[in-house]
Structure 1
Amino acid sequence: MDSTSSNKPKGQRVFVIGNGMTKFYRPGKHDNDYPQLAKQAILRALRDANIPYSLVESAFAGYVYGDSVCGQRCLYTVGMTGIPLVNVNNNCSTGSSALYLAAQAVKSGVNDCALAFGFEKMFTGSHQTFFTDRTVPIDTFLIKDNELRGNAKAPFAPRLFGNAGVEHMQKYGTTQEHFNKIAWKNHKHSVNNPYSQFRDEYTLEQIAKSPLIHYPLTKLACCPTSDGAGAAIVASEDFVKKHGLEDQAVEILDIRLMTDFRSTFDDQSSIKLIGFDMTKACVEKVYQTAGITPKDVQVCELHDCFAANELVTYEALGLCEIGKAGEAIDRNDFTYGGKTVVNPSGGLISKGHPLGATGLAQCAELCWQVRGMADKRQVKDCKVALQHNLGLGGAVVIAAYKKYQSGYQKKFRADQTSDPAVLEKFEALEQQERPRL
């Protein structure tokens, strides 16, 4: 099942029929362990799809910080039907890698209905390596970064991405204010997202004066560590029609996973070191297979682990010309009223970044957008959406989405909503009505 060897669509069409996610939390500031988080996200996806768990034929569980078979520990809280489950770890693109595998299972015809879910229970502070007696997987990235930019005291992630920002500044005249504007935009967007870890709006001055993590990135231009979970149910066209889900199905026009090219290390570029070339190559194949162009993309959930990555990724995705991201930011091209609304959820910077859940939270936001369910975040007449999820070291997953039917769903079921407050009421009622064991 090599999805990158040809641009011609093969196999069954694939649709997202249900999405669910939890609120994203600051680690240590809530009472939920990872099985409870995953269970809530999965049950919400099943509720959205209006199907029982017994119809799910396979599952793919994404997480980074956890022991073996955490996926089974989570799934067994929902049901034990003997279905195959694969645990997935692809760094920050883990959640979307699980989604990719679920989509491949349906596309190939192996399954008609598959579940992808991801979760994380993290530690406070910067990402860290726990195995000190063996080779660090991203050692070649760190060595190259040191060769290109010299050693620094900052944690490795903001250092690598911050140095890509420095290169962009040196090549194209970008300023630190452009990165601050990205952070300002994403924090502003998150005000309307009840799932977001942070919902505070900041001024540009506040962002600029927050502690410097690694130039040009201040604290408010960096994503936090987070706990949370997300889930998506994907199905074939036959399954959609059999269960009357045409009006809510969102087609995955294409989804691809790519890893690094030699140019990541050979081209002496901090921008390429953080995955620019694999993102560019991946999205070009997605555009071609999906039959769309960057101009067709109305909304994008983009992997803004740091504002510097969002800026360079605008260019990798073709949302603006290479070297012109600063000018596009100044025109407000990437917010409401602009060319493409990027990170209406608040992105990783404000919504949070529980590694295994991030890609599935992106999927949820985009499906809600094209279904017209995004409430105050809704992008007007949204039809085509793009997802970008990056894992350093590296892997990138890019997906394009489109509503199955042309019109928006006119009437939702009472329990079919993206509002977590409403979902919590239904969940509380179900808990009361459930007989005691």
Structure 2
Amino acid sequence: MNPPRRGLLQSSYERVHVVLLVAIGAVLGTWWITGKLPLIYQSQSRFFMPEASDGFSLHNEAENIPKGPKLPTSNPETQSSLRGLMATSEFQLRVSAKFDNLSSRDIEDSVSIKVDKFNLIVITAEDTSPTRAAEIANRFPSLLQKDLRQRTMLDVQKKQEHLLNADQARSKDLEQLEGERLAFLLDAGAADNATQTSSLNSRLETLRTQVADLEVRRRTLELREKETRAQYERRREFIESSFTRESNPRIQELRSAIVSAESEYASLLVQHQPEHKKPKAKEKEIEVLRLDLATQEELKDKSWSFQVDPIRQDLDRQLSNLAVDRSALDAELSVRRSQLDKVAREWAVLPAFSEELEAHNRRITQSREILEEIRDRIEEFRLYQTRENQFLEVVEAAVPASLSRPFFPKRRLLSAISGLIGLLLGIALASAMARAASWREEAPW
């Protein structure tokens, strides 16, 4: 009769020493092996590229104001480009060049580049030295920042060179335009439009004033000549050369009458108001007597002799002089009128001059504005190169991991796992040993 088969649990209990030996051996073996392995430390740095970069302008102050908080870009193409730059062999070779006994292949194997759910680029570096792991993780964003700056500065320098060439070309164009404008002004005999207008206007007003003054003088000469001729014609050719005169008795009579009338007038003013008709009548009588007295001469001609009138001769000389003056004035007036007509013709073509000069000024102004804009952009590029541009924002810099907490190997965890595996193997071995013993008992030999 065959003995009953033992279960797995009973077999394990019967051979518990085997199970314990296998488990303890697995734990001790794992502990010993992990103690021989080099410790691997892990360090991480996190950074991002802002979605919107800071602007800079000399003209628009709004460009110098931040648009908002710097948030990580969510553009997958940008993130892939940044990861691609850091994944190149050349970039990893430059990272490894800072460390001894470290190749680009080691960097490729020990560094991972990922993007987390917050759109942050995470650099994870593993190394046997916690300090070097942190330095490797920090080396990636710093070197990428430097590369982006260098690439940007090279692009800025190229654009600045183009702008400098454009500045030289535009300066030559401006000199040519100013030369054309100067030649036009020299040909026109003017300094500028305002000067030409002011000069022509001043000359026009001066000539008009001179012509008007000459016409007035000519008219005055004509009137004087007419008056002198009338006086000349009124004079007799001969006048009295000598004569005798006697006192005018009428004067004394009138003076006595005036004195008497004034006395009566004073008496009437005592009796009546000045507005009364009697004083007024007496006043009129006095005025008549005074007028009569004024027309009387002190002496009356009695006898005379005749000679050529010297006043008439003087008037004749005056007429001759006036004729000469009028001829000279007519000649001067003719010259001034000719000058006035010439200036008037120049004034008539002044709009065309102004329009052409304005076209020159407009071209020069446009060229200067373009040149000023180019120079402002050159200055912006120059100032941009002096700035410390931050293309990347480091959120978390890597720090050396604790020496007691290596990333690999995790000795306790691996020992616990090995212990569990040892228990399973011990139970399996105990079960196998029990099965083998049962087979031996059942064997016919």
Q: TM-score, length-normalised on structure 2? A: 0.17
Greater radius of gyration (CA):
2
| Highest RCO, 1 vs 2 (Cα 8 Å, sep ≥ 6) | 2
- Which has a greater percent of strand? 1
- Which has a greater percent of helix? 2
